[in-house]
Amino acid sequence: MQIQHLLFSQGFGTRRICAGLVEQGLVEVEGQLLTDPTQSVVAQGLRYRVQGVQWLYQERAYLMLNKPAGYECSHRPGAWPSVYTLLPAPLRQRGAGAVPGVQALGRLDQDTTGLLLLSDDGRFIHRMTSPRHHVPKVYELQLRDPPTSQQVSRLLAGVTIEAGSDPVRAAACSAAGAQALQLTLTEGKYHQVKRMLAAVGNPVERLHRSRIGALELPADLAPGQWRWLQPAELDALR
Ligand code: URA
């Protein structure tokens, strides 16, 4: 693949800009400065630098972000900054679809923290977010009051959060501290956790997602930080 095409595929701008980056001596491949935008490179496993920043070629992007509070999971946020502003520009610009760049796999509320996955692989996004696949998501809840065993039983048995629709239930639910619960959902209706807890009369005060399927939010990923998924993590999710 020509280096200019590789840069374009990885989100470094228009074809013209990508050619310009090479011509201006801003692109290094395996320690060597390139000057010819048509220079062929082997994309798979390629390590390269653009303006001094190291990148690894990724045919598709799969990442995790530790979402901080105060960010919206939307490309067109209303009142809060977008989570996408926490990612470097090439990740926001990859691909050439109607909505370019990586997309969050589902949404977390503005005030919810924790594990958010993002990708530009449409099939992967569909599979992970489809209600048919029941990918379990684990939430850590701080509640207004200590949870009672009756509330836990109701959450497991199913509660109605929308008049006229079927009850929704937690796949797992257990106390995790004086005013804390750990709750697992295999579906993702709008504000589902908060509405379920409101339905049992114990509102959520803080909500954090700690796990999606086999993937746990790593303790060393600080709020606001992102990283690529390791191949083994991706396999485990799939
Ligand atoms: N359920 C909610 O109520 N909010 C979230 O952000 C995620 C799940």
What's the CATH code of the domain at 114? 3.30.70.580
211 and 139 in contact (C-beta within 8 Å)?
Answer: no
Q: Are residues 21 and 66 in the same domain?
A: no
pLDDT computed for residue 216 by the predictor: 97
| 189, 163: one domain | yes
Residues 70 and 120 placed together within one structural domain of the fold: yes
| Residue-number span of the structural domain to which 70 is assigned | 62-132+215-237
CATH number, residue 25: 3.10.290.10
Q: Are residues 142 and 201 in the same domain?
A: yes
141 plus 114 within the same structural domain = no
Write the DSSP string, 12-49: SS-HHHHHHHHHTT-EEETTEE---TT-B---TT-EEE
DSSP-derived secondary structure for 79-121: SS-BGGGGS-HHHHH-S-SSS-S-EESS---TT-EEEEEEES-
Our answer to whether residue 109 is catalytic in this structure is yes
Report which ligand 1 atom has the smallest distance to the Cα of 204: 3
Q: Are residues 224 and 128 part of one domain?
A: yes
Decide whether any atom of ligand 1 lies within 6 Å of the 103 Cβ.
Answer: no
- Cβ of 184 closer than 6 Å to ligand 1, yes or no, is no
Answer with the one of 36, 56, 76 that is the final residue of a domain: 56
Give the domain CATH number at 206: 3.30.70.1560
Q: 98 falls in which pLDDT band (50, 70, 90)?
A: low
Q: Residue 60 class from Cβ within 10 Å (0-12 exposed, 13-18 middle, 19+ buried)?
A: middle
| Ligand 1 atom 4, closest CA | 191
User: What angle, 0 to 180 degrees and rounded to 10, lies between the N-to-C axes of helices 192-199 and 149-157?
Assistant: 130
User: pLDDT of 140-151, one tens digit each?
Assistant: 999 999 999 999
Q: Is the CB of 193 under 6 A from ligand 1?
A: yes
Q: Looking at the predicted structure, is the pLDDT value of residue 99 above 60?
A: no
pLDDT band at residue 100, thresholds of 50, 70 and 90? confident
81 plus 146 within the same structural domain? no
* Ligand 1 and 49: CB distance under 6 A: no
The pTM for the full model equals 0.94
155 and 173 share a domain?
A: yes
Number of domains making up the chain:
3
